[in-house]
């Protein structure tokens, strides 16, 4: 059966991906700017004092004097405040001022902002001010004009209290917005061109799924391995295996999930994505930045090998793929160690070149 015939007859296409996870691990995203309530300019960079330890393993969390905060997704110079205030029960104390918002937004755009996050105090109790800010930005930079940029409201991304985690969730969503928007649109277009006329479903990191127009970029993080957790649960229930450990190794990350007997899933209600805590509940995973395409480097000061976070991806891929990659990866090491069969890899569709792996490792890791 050819592809077009299969897609015309298939009941449902459900897409799970680690594209967002990979973009975060590699730090590939637009310049994010943030608009906050006046007086709360440092809420995001301070991260409630926990930013030093979030996302680190237990050993490094115990070595706080040497801990470093992660590179911020929003530089301090791209955080601006506006004069407005809503109290804890949603009553307006200081209304939004049009000229103030317009001035701050123009400064952000002049400083290179490619996406804007609006995270105002108590927006979960009353989102009117965030919505008004969005209206003002769209008046200045309409979506039909070249200068338009994505604007994300924290009250729409997360309805849960907690200024820092709500703002961080929106920032991560904005960081991945363009990547996921183009990827999902391209996939939907390819499916339509191949005869699939039904809506494509995107698997969420909560374990559910929805159409792409009802999906935030934040909900796609880890959706690939979480789909694997669902498959492991089905396998456990249908075969009586009991407790199962689910592992998913991709090009950039290695993800580990737990499936207890009985099907009760473990959730993180304020998970840490990379080094940032967010307020978007998702199925619990342990993620390591060490996939098949993760690039190895040698630290000559400490005489140690570092894996990732940079990845060769699938194009050009590991050096042994013989597609132009020149840096050593985990896959190259696996080939040299004999874990991979160069003559029977990917059902003979990819011929592995061991000489390329040896050359890449010797050039990079050896004196």
User: How does pLDDT run across 205-241, given as a tens digit for each residue?
Assistant: 888 899 988 888 888 888 888 898 988 888 888 888 8
What distance in Å separates the CA atoms of residue 226 and residue 253, rounded to the nearest whole number? 13
Q: What is the pLDDT of residue 5?
A: 85
User: For residue 201, what are the β-bridge partners?
Assistant: 14, 211
Q: Residue 363 has which token pair?
A: 């050039």
Strands 254-259 and 267-268: unpaired
State yes or no: pLDDT of 179 exceeds 60.
yes
Whether pLDDT at 367 is above 60: no
Q: Which of 73, 252, 46 is nearest to 169 (CA)?
A: 73
Q: In the predicted model, is pLDDT for residue 332 greater than 90?
A: yes
The predicted-structure confidence for 142-172, as pLDDT tens digits, reads as follows: 877 766 788 999 998 888 888 888 999 999 9
pLDDT band at 133; cut points 50, 70, 90: very high
Neighbouring CB atoms inside 10 A of 292's CB total: 22
Do residues 163 and 40 touch, judged by C-beta distance below 8 A? yes
d(CA 260, CA 245): 8
Q: Which residue has the tokens 């001022």?
A: 97
- Residue 239: partners with Cβ closer than 8 Å, 6 or more residues away: none
Q: pLDDT by residue (tens digit) across 61-110? A: 777 777 777 778 898 899 999 999 999 899 999 999 999 999 999 999 99
Tokens of 153: 């409201």
């Amino acid at each position: 059966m050819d592809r077009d015939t299969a897609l015309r007859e298939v009941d449902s296409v459900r897409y799970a991906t680690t594209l967002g996870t990979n973009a975060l691990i590699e730090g590939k995203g637009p310049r994010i700017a943030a608009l906050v309530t006046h007086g709360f300019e440092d809420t995001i960079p301070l991260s409630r004092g926990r930013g030093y330890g979030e996302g680190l393993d237990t050993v490094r969390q115990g070595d706080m004097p040497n801990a470093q905060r992660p590179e911020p997704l929003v530089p301090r110079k791209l955080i601006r405040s506006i004069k407005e205030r809503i109290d804890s029960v949603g009553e307006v104390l200081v209304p939004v001022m049009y000229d103030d918002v317009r001035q701050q937004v123009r400064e952000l755009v002049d400083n290179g902002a490619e996406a804007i996050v609006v995270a105002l105090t108590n927006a979960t109790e009353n989102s009117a001010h965030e919505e008004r800010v969005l209206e003002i930005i769209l008046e200045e930079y309409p979506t039909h004009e070249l200068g338009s940029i994505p604007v994300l409201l924290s009250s729409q991304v997360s309805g849960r209290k907690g200024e820092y985690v709500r703002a961080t969730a929106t920032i991560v969503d904005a960081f991945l917005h363009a990547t996921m928007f183009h990827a999902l649109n391209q996939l939907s277009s390819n499916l339509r061109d191949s005869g699939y006329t039904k809506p494509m479903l995107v698997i969420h990191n909560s374990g559910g799924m929805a159409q792409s127009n009802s999906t935030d970029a934040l909900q796609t993080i880890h959706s690939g391995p979480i789909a694997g957790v669902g498959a492991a649960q089905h396998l456990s229930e249908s075969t009586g295996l009991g407790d199962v450990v689910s592992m998913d190794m991709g090009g950039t990350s290695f993800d580990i999930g737990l499936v207890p007997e009985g099907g009760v899933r473990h959730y993180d209600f304020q998970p840490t994505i990379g080094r940032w805590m967010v307020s978007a509940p998702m199925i619990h995973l342990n993620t390591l930045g060490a996939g098949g395409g993760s690039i190895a480097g040698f630290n000559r000061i400490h005489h140690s090998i570092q894996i990732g976070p940079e990845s060769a991806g699938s194009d050009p891929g590991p050096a042994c793929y013989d597609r132009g990659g020149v840096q050593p990866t985990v896959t190259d090491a696996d080939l040299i160690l004999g874990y991979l069969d160069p003559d029977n890899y990917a059902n003979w569709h990819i011929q592995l070149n061991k000489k390329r792996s040896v050359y890449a490792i010797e050039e990079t890791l050896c004196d």
